[in-house]
Homo-oligomer: A and B are copies of this chain.
Amino acid sequence: MEVTGHMPAQDAPRARSASIWDVARVAGVSQQTVSRVINGKARVSEATRARVLQVIAELGYRPNRLAQALAGGPVRSVTVLTSDTALYGAAATLRGMEEAARTAGFSVGISVLERTSGQADIALRLNRPGEAVMVIAFDDAGVRALRALPADVPVAAAVERRPDDGPDDPWQVWLDDRAAAAHATRYLLGLGHRTVHYVAIPSSTSALPQRTQGWQDALRAAGRPVPEPLPGGWSPRSGYLAVRSLLADRSVTAVLCGNDDLALGVMRAAREAGRDIPGDLSVVGFDDSPPSAYLNPSLTTVRLDFEGLGRACFGLLHRRLDPQNAPAVPAWSEPELIVRESSGPAPA
């Protein structure tokens, strides 16, 4: 066998782990053949394949992802762009994405967006131009990041709402927040509440958030008064502050919250205002975050399948990267109202 310039020095002390060359040499084939075996693309005789596979096992060889990617191999890594992973929705979506990606043999990177992340900043988070990306765009920072991504990066996104301007982007997934909010609102009206107040999470776009719209839809459809939505943030504290003054008004008997954390704050405000839940006041949350079932009172809330959404988002990306071989995009569950102790009939 000739020693070409590309061959690793035979005499140099080898601290590195096995490369494709080592496998090729031991198996007595060219490195290209090894590459073929690894990728299973081109045809290799059964005998050769078996021998190569055996050598691979013996040497404990594993392809270097970096080299594969650099050489223009198939994309096998994704970076997830997300803001505040402290929020249940984002964290659960991330879990779903990571699980699906890892299962499919992808390595996943994560990069948390700061509120101030500018457009220039976004490109810096990619390891190389063209790297695949998933964006969790439930809030403003995420949406901005999604928009700031160069056109040539393959991206899939989990979004709060489909953008109503411009053509539909087929590489997005979302939950039907609007219908879910409407459903929850109808549920409360069905309990005899005259109307329902709403504490909103911040919008991801300039438009009205889906949950807010759904709530309005239901009130309007039922011909009920539509109170001004109360602007909240993401935290219990912001929910607490949003309704603090409102709760003195005993005619307020039902509050729908944009997420469970807000509901937590609302329930505390209610306690301090001397309102009884659910006797005096019904509170309904959104998300079904883990503690909800164990709160006092336990929280009626809309369960959202964030993990499923995350898995689907990856499924979408996978199909975008490899339309031929990627499996079908898995379905995710519809939002579901989970009735617990915090909601009940309107006071007489």
Interface residues of A (CB under 8 A from B): 16-17, 62, 64-67, 69-70, 77, 79, 85-86, 91-92, 94-95, 98-99, 102, 107-112, 123-125, 127-129, 235-237, 240, 261, 264-265, 267-268, 271, 290-291, 293-298
Shortest A120–chain B CB gap in Å is 10
Q: Decide if B236 touches A293 in the complex (CB within 8 Å).
A: yes
User: A128–B107 Cα gap in the complex (Å)?
Assistant: 11
The answer, among B17, B79, B92, B94, for a CB contact under 8 Å with A129, is: B17
The A interface, classified by DSSP as helix, strand, loop or mixed, is helix
6 A-B pairs with the lowest CB-CB distances in the bound complex, closest first:
A65-B127, A236-B294, A17-B129, A296-B296, A264-B294, A64-B128
- Closest-by-CB residue of B relative to A127 is B65
> What is the bound-complex CA distance between A297 and B272, given in angstroms?
12
**What are 9 residue pairs bridging A and B, where the CB atoms are less than 8 Å apart in the complex?**
A86-B92, A95-B112, A107-B111, A107-B127, A236-B290, A261-B290, A268-B296, A295-B295, A295-B296
A29 CA to B91 CA in the complex, in Å?
47
* CB closest chain-B residue, reference A84: B95
Q: How many copies does the complex hold?
A: 2
- Shortest distance from the beta carbon of A119 to any chain B beta carbon, whole Å: 12
Known: A95-B112, A267-B296, A294-B240. A123 touches B69 (CB 8 A): no
Known: A85-B95, A91-B91, A110-B109. A127 touches B271 (CB 8 A): no
- Which B residues are in CB contact (< 8 Å) with A294? 236-237, 240, 264-265, 267-268
Other 8 A-B pairs with CB < 8 A, given A16-B129, A17-B129, A107-B111: A62-B123, A77-B109, A79-B107, A86-B290, A108-B109, A265-B294, A268-B298, A296-B296
